[in-house]
Chains A and B, each alone.
Chain A
Amino acid sequence: MSGEHKPAKAYALHLAVLALLFALNFLLPAYHHGLLARIMVLAVFAMGYNLLFGYAGLLSLGHAMFFAAGMYGAGLSVLHFGFAVPLAFLAGIACGALLALVVGLLALRTSGVAFMIVTMMFAQVFALSLIYFAGFTGGDQGLVIPQPARLFGVGSATIDLTDPAVRYMAALALFAVALLVTLHLVRSRHGRVLVAIRENEERTRMLGYDTFANKLAVTVVSGAISAAAGAAFALLFGYVGANFAGVQYSILPLLWVLLGGAATTLGPLLGTLVIYVITDTASSFTSAWLLIVGIVLILLVLFFPKGVLGTLRARWLGWLP
């Protein structure tokens, strides 16, 4: 852990990344512009996953349920209860946090392989229930959130989330908040405890830390951040669908974080960006783009378990958070 040294450098780097993303709003052509907005929202999901996997060392195979809880929490509250966008967004986060609390209370009684299987199964149940209650959720087909519902007023101004520039800025705002919150968290005392639990849980317990409470807390935060991404996705892109609750969306954040570098703050963005670009390109000439996912996963786990930024940090840039 490099928390103590060169905090200014770390913050400067993060602000530079955000500034770059801000500038790209004006520089990118339309297609890439929309793509980057999507990538930023998914990177928030990856950051939420990274908290649990990279920092706390808990490999969940069911995070799609938190993303989907946020997505459906926001989407359904707009469609069925007429919530305005800001309230719907909060509703989505609340759903994800609550689900994470319940799942955490149960799943955290297990560890290792059992934890992976239990989280995967809870996510399965969640996905199946979306299908079972299709009348309410739109089932396999999903539901579209119409354009008028994605406007909201702030003071005298109206913010239209269907406008590409507004959408990009909203995605960037969410990403910036999540990034800076994560950065602050991992450099804090709490971050140190998380890493300690990951490295040697029994020792941490003997030093007076309630490791179960800590793990539960980080699960809820991770679930809330993932849900925030899901809620944003629904509100920004106007669609909720059961495929986002599928096991694929539990594997993808694992892949994004592994590639970018687990337990690094900027790794999730990098991993999401690279994979999304590769698979977007690949799916234009084959429907079997998941093949690339499979190959990258195996290559990563065999040769680059630390991912890009993780390897960079280990070899040259020890100050990278």
Chain B
Amino acid sequence: MTVQHNLEPLLVTRGLSRRFGGLRAVDGVDFTLMPGEIRAVIGPNGAGKTTFVGMVCGRIARSDGAVLFDGQDISDLPAHRRARLGIAYTFQITSIYPNLSVYDNVALPVQRTAREPRAIRAAVMAALEKVGLDGRAAMPAGQLAYGHQRLLEVAMGLALKPRLLILDEPTQGLSDAEIEDFIVLVRDIARTATVLLIEHNMPLVMQLADRITVFEAGRILAEGTPEQIRANAAVQAAYLGTEAGAEP
């Protein structure tokens, strides 16, 4: 799905800020996301990326500013209401239900929209098939390999049928082969949802993203297409130049 510029933006933040005591973790961020985009958010550790998306999905309270989703001001909505509006978030540190089966993990988001046991079963298996975990439905989720747990998180996010899927460092801990599969998966997801992706893996970002937003010290340093960002001297100085294994 290509970026559709003629539509209204899906997500807008205006002056969004978060302070922790004297520390400005996120400092007056103006951000716009169009429907259908795959947007990558990159930046050094501590730049405020997770805090920023945390304020978008409602996990973290804002200190200042506004969040608008599909034209609606959701700044004061609690997280569960935002999830119902179509914002899904996968955690940076895996947050699944380790003691429940893989099936039950996905059944929870599925049963938000499906009621009949048969419909639930169908939707769960479909979501698991998409990430390749359908063979392990009965396993306790805590026994999955780490990489598969991350995929389970993605499946749970997908099962919500979101309009905006926020992926927070989803490929951390995945092998190269798994990352390849992941790229295919994200392209598939992007056919029906908008994807906001926090990532440290630069080759992945360059391959996948339509646009990239660079965070530094709580502010947006630069924004643009992968080529524009690669060529941006400030970004290189702040981040890309020090990134080990970055493509030339």
The residues of A with any CB-CB pair to B shorter than 8 Å are 1, 3-4, 189, 192-193, 195-196, 199-200, 202-211
The residues of B with any CB-CB pair to A shorter than 8 Å are 57, 59, 78-81, 83-84, 88-89, 91, 95-101, 103-104, 107-109, 111-112, 115, 120, 156, 160
The reply to whether B79 and A189 contact each other, CB–CB distance below 8 Å, is: no
The reply to whether B95 and A1 contact each other, CB–CB distance below 8 Å, is: no
The reply to whether A205 and B97 contact each other, CB–CB distance below 8 Å, is: no
Closest Cβ of chain B: how far from A192's Cβ, in Å?
Answer: 6
Identity of the chain A residue whose Cβ is nearest the Cβ of B98 in the assembled complex: A199
Q: Which listed residue (A200, A206, A207, A210) contacts B59, Cβ 8 A? A: A206
- Bound: A296/B83 CA distance, A: 45
The reply to whether B99 and A199 contact each other, CB–CB distance below 8 Å, is: yes
B interface: dominant SS: mixed
A202 and B95 in contact, given A193-B108, A208-B80, A208-B84 (Cβ under 8 angstroms): yes
Closest Cβ of chain A: how far from B186's Cβ, in Å?
Answer: 20
- Bound: A1/B141 CA distance, A: 12
Task: Count CB-based A-B contacts (< 8 Å).
Answer: 64
The reply to whether A208 and B109 contact each other, CB–CB distance below 8 Å, is: yes
The reply to whether A195 and B80 contact each other, CB–CB distance below 8 Å, is: no
- Bound: A134/B88 CA distance, A: 55
A interface: dominant SS: helix
- Bound: A192/B117 CA distance, A: 13
Residues of A within 8 A of B160 (CB): 207-208
Identity of the chain A residue whose Cβ is nearest the Cβ of B79 in the assembled complex: A205
- Bound: A12/B115 CA distance, A: 25
Closest Cβ of chain A: how far from B126's Cβ, in Å?
Answer: 16
- Bound: A199/B107 CA distance, A: 15
The reply to whether A196 and B100 contact each other, CB–CB distance below 8 Å, is: yes
- Sample (21) of A-B pairs whose CB atoms are under 8 Å apart: A1-B101, A3-B104, A189-B120, A192-B107, A192-B111, A195-B100, A196-B97, A200-B95, A202-B59, A203-B97, A205-B78, A206-B57, A206-B79, A206-B80, A207-B108, A207-B112, A207-B156, A208-B80, A208-B83, A208-B112, A208-B160
Q: Which listed residue (A199, A202, A207, A210) contacts B109, Cβ 8 A? A: A207
The reply to whether A199 and B112 contact each other, CB–CB distance below 8 Å, is: no
A4 and B103 in contact, given A207-B156, A208-B83, A208-B84 (Cβ under 8 angstroms): yes
Residues of B within 8 A of A207 (CB): 80, 83, 108-109, 112, 156, 160
Q: Which listed residue (B98, B108, B120) contacts A196, Cβ 8 A? A: B108
A189 and B57 in contact, given A203-B91, A203-B95, A206-B89 (Cβ under 8 angstroms): no
The 10 A-B pairs of least Cβ separation, nearest first, read: A208-B83, A208-B84, A199-B97, A203-B95, A207-B109, A189-B111, A205-B80, A210-B80, A205-B79, A208-B112
Closest Cβ of chain A: how far from B128's Cβ, in Å?
Answer: 14
Residues of B within 8 A of A211 (CB): 80
Closest Cβ of chain B: how far from A315's Cβ, in Å?
Answer: 15
The reply to whether A209 and B80 contact each other, CB–CB distance below 8 Å, is: yes
The reply to whether A192 and B103 contact each other, CB–CB distance below 8 Å, is: no
Closest Cβ of chain B: how far from A252's Cβ, in Å?
Answer: 28
Identity of the chain B residue whose Cβ is nearest the Cβ of A209 in the assembled complex: B80
